[in-house]
Amino acid sequence: MKNYVRLLPLLGLMLAGCAQSAETEMVEPTETAAVPAPTNLLAPAPAVGPTETASPAPEVPLARLWRTAGHPVIYQGTMELEVDDFTTASARLDTVLIQRGAYLTNALETTDTGRHQQVLTIRVPSAQFLALTSALTRLGTVHHKQLTSRDVAAELARQAAKPGARPDTAATRQAATEHQLLTEQAALATLQLTYFQFRPATDLVPPEAAVAPRIRAGLWFGWRIVGQLFIALAYVWPLLLGVAGWGFWHWRRTSTAVGQ
């Protein structure tokens, strides 16, 4: 009996160890489940529904206020820009015009005492006109910008509504010419661009002349004076000879009178 009593504490320790082991096994699955699954960073973003679609910002400011959907419009404009570097601005302008499908019809480059400038007449597809003017404003500081538009849909419709079977008269040819002109103007917009760079003050002040050229110029001027003097003496030598003779005679007479 005493042996069984001595085994009771040992049995209690064994039961306590089994209970602790079972509790540990129950906690580990719980902690494993609590760890969040790794997020797939490459998963595509959820699609935006029709109600969540945001309207994209217009490429050109105020462009929606100018365009008339489905209507032929004649665009014209003038711009004046001040640039920091004329050469760099010319290179960037060439790139912008090529990107917009524009071309030149006239170019005038001048340099005066105040600034270096170039005046260009640009033709560009009407669909690219507003985008081109917006891109040009980033080349420098805008001093002047004026854009105009003219909707010619009514005029073209009125000309198209007239009977086609008409005799070939001057009025008919004039109407056809006007129709073609309006169509071409609506297809290609016209922009007159002036960009310039103020010349630095160092370019306006003439450089100081070197010393050697100035010395040569002074010697040449003095030699010319001597030459002119000899030429004058050659013209008046008889008079000078007479004056010299009279002076000698007067001196001799005065000397004789003093001696007596």
Residue type, 110: T
CA distance linking residue 164 with residue 175, whole number of Å: 11
Enter the pTM of the model.
0.50
Name which of 36, 127, 144, 141 is nearest 74 in CA terms: 127
Per-domain boundaries in the chain: 71-203
Which CATH homologous superfamily contains domain 71-203? ACT domain (3.30.70.260)
Tokens of 194: 């002036």
Identify the pLDDT of residue 167.
59
Half-sphere exposure of 38 (CA within 13 A, CB side): 3
Q: What is the mean pLDDT of each run of 10 residues along the chain (260 residues)?
A: 54 59 47 42 38 43 59 88 94 94 94 91 91 93 92 69 60 69 81 93 60 86 89 85 87 77
Question: Dihedral through CA 164, CA 166, CA 168, CA 173, nearest 10?
Answer: -50
- From CA 257, how far away is CA 260, in angstroms rounded? 5
Q: What gap in Å lies between CA 102 and CA 246, rounded to an integer?
A: 92
